[in-house]
């Protein structure tokens, strides 16, 4: 027997033995293995045999083959070239690849067709379309859930997960106004930019108490601050409120369009204004939040306004 064939048979037996050692114990060769294992083992066996057969064929061909055909006239340092015809299949595939490459670069997948930002824009557009379709008509529960989730991401870092302002680090959103905020506004005045008017609320040097016909005093400011922070309940400070604040904010504190904001309760419109424009108050500055969608604004407005009513 030819030495090459003998070597191939030894290699095949060795590799099949190796395969058996590797996977045979896992049940691949036995009856209890599942069909995926059997298929894999079968594939391995076929691969080993085919490889050995092909390698043997070409090794033997290299051993026995002689060159034939007509030599070309040119030779390079004694190395010549036969003028054999190209194999037809090879030539067809070669030309086909060139044509395919031209098509691929110009039409199929142009080299300048991809951009990272383009992919990002498509991703955002697809998300926005889906978002709008999904939340076009929300019920109250969904709106509230969305408001809460946006709150946790955007608002909780300052106002706290409980929306209580984390011990005075930010406004407590369960009440319309804290005592110190009322005092801050009365003492320093306030701009009404959020209401869309440039007519500001005057500071304490411009606030007359109609009951006493004099400027508000420290005691009166303390009293009215308690009264407003307490939700306009009780009697202490009520007379100061009626004499000083009610002229613009209304007797019930609900404010007037384009004149004074609602200081009796949180309203979604007021929350919306603060979210979009930010504010600077007694505690510190709040930045404007411009990165939300209209639906998210609506949800957050409703959620924050609802906190004080719980």
Partner 1 sequence: MFHWLEKNPFFFAVAVFVVIAFAGLIEILPNFAQASRPVIGTKPYTTLELAGRHVYIKNSCNACHSQLIRPFKSETDRYGHYSLSGEYAYDRPFLWGSKRTGPDLMRVGNYRTTDWHENHMKDPAGVVPGSIMPAYRWMFKNTADIDTAYAEQLTVMKAFAVPYNAEIPMVDGSKATVTLADTVEGARASALEEAKVIAADMKDQDVKDAVAAGQVPEIVALIAYLNSLK
Token pair recorded at residue 67: 């060159």
Q: Segment 43-72, which members bind partner 1 (CB under 8 A)?
A: none
Quote the CA–CA distance of 260 and 274 in Å, as a whole number. 15
Measured from the CB atom, the residue of 141 and 153 that comes closer to partner 1 is 153
- State in angstroms the smallest separation of the CB of 123 from partner 1: 5
Quote the CA–CA distance of 27 and 82 in Å, as a whole number. 54
Is 289 in a helix, a strand, or coil? coil
Query: Nearest to residue 249, comparing CAs of 268, 224, 226?
Result: 224
Residue choice 10, 169, 200, 218 for contact with partner 1 (CB under 8 A): 169
Tell me: does residue 287 bind partner 1 (CB under 8 A): yes
Quote the CA–CA distance of 224 and 183 in Å, as a whole number. 8
Tell me: does residue 127 bind partner 1 (CB under 8 A): yes
Query: Nearest to residue 185, comparing CAs of 123, 256, 122, 261?
Result: 261
Measured from the CB atom, the residue of 155 and 175 that comes closer to partner 1 is 155
Tell me: does residue 105 bind partner 1 (CB under 8 A): no
By rule CB under 8 A, what count of residues binds partner 1?
22
What's the alpha-carbon Rg for the chain, to the nearest Å?
42
Token pair recorded at residue 24: 């045979």
Q: Concatenate the DSSP letters of all residues of 143-186 into one string.
A: HHHHHHHHIIIIIHHHH-TTSS-TTTTS--TTSS--HHHHHHHH
Residue choice 67, 111, 117, 133 for contact with partner 1 (CB under 8 A): 117
- State in angstroms the smallest separation of the CB of 155 from partner 1: 10
Residue choice 14, 26, 43, 123 for contact with partner 1 (CB under 8 A): 123
Which segment (59-67, 231-239, 241-249, 283-291) binds partner 1 by CB under 8 A?
A: 283-291
Task: Please state the φ and ψ torsions of residue 280, each to the nearest 5 degrees.
Answer: -135, 120
Q: Segment 138-157, which members bind partner 1 (CB under 8 A)?
A: 153-154, 157
Query: Nearest to residue 276, comparing CAs of 197, 201, 193, 200?
Result: 193
Place of tokens 């070409």: 58
- State in angstroms the smallest separation of the CB of 238 from partner 1: 33
299 and 143 Cβ atoms separated by less than 8 Å: yes
Token pair recorded at residue 44: 């391995």
Quote the CA–CA distance of 240 and 224 in Å, as a whole number. 6
Residue choice 120, 132, 191, 256 for contact with partner 1 (CB under 8 A): 120
Tell me: does residue 289 bind partner 1 (CB under 8 A): yes
Measured from the CB atom, the residue of 57 and 127 that comes closer to partner 1 is 127
- State in angstroms the smallest separation of the CB of 1 from partner 1: 47
- State in angstroms the smallest separation of the CB of 169 from partner 1: 5
Quote the CA–CA distance of 99 and 115 in Å, as a whole number. 26
Measured from the CB atom, the residue of 220 and 272 that comes closer to partner 1 is 272
Tell me: does residue 285 bind partner 1 (CB under 8 A): yes
Tell me: does residue 158 bind partner 1 (CB under 8 A): yes
Which segment (25-33, 46-54, 112-120, 301-309) binds partner 1 by CB under 8 A?
A: 112-120
Given the rule CB under 8 A, which residues bind partner 1?
A: 116-117, 119-120, 123-124, 127, 153-154, 157-158, 161, 166, 169-170, 283-287, 289, 291
């Amino acid at each position: 027997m030819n030495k090459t064939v003998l070597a191939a048979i030894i290699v095949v037996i060795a590799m099949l033995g190796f395969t058996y050692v590797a996977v045979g114990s896992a049940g691949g060769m036995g009856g209890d293995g599942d069909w995926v294992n059997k298929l894999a083992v079968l594939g391995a066996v076929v691969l080993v045999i085919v490889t050995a057969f092909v390698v043997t064929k070409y090794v033997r061909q290299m051993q026995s083959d002689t060159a034939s055909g007509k030599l070309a006239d040119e030779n390079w340092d004694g190395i010549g070239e036969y003028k054999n015809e190209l194999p037809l299949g090879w030539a067809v595939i070669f030309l086909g690849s060139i044509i395919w490459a031209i098509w691929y670069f110009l039409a199929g997948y142009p080299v300048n067709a991809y951009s990272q930002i383009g992919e990002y824009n498509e991703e955002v557009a697809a998300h926005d379309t889906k978002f709008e379709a999904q939340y076009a008509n929300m019920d109250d529960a969904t709106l509230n859930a969305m408001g809460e989730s946006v709150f946790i991401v955007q608002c909780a870092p300052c106002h706290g997960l409980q929306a209580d302002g984390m011990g005075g680090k930010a406004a407590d959103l369960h009440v319309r106004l804290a005592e110190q905020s009322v005092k801050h506004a009365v003492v320093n005045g306030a701009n009404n930019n959020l209401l869309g008017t440039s007519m500001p609320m005057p500071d304490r040097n411009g606030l007359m108490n109609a009951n006493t016909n004099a400027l508000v005093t420290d005691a009166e400011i303390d009293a009215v601050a308690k009264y407003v922070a307490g939700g306009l309940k009780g009697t202490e400070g009520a007379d100061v409120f009626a004499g000083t604040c009610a002229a613009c904010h209304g007797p019930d504190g609900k404010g007037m369009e384009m004149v004074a904001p609602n200081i009796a309760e949180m309203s979604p419109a007021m929350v919306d204004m603060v979210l979009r424009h930010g504010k600077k108050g007694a505690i510190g500055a709040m930045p404007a939040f411009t990165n939300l969608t209209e639906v998210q604004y609506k949800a957050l407005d409703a959620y924050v306004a609802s906190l004080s009513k719980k």
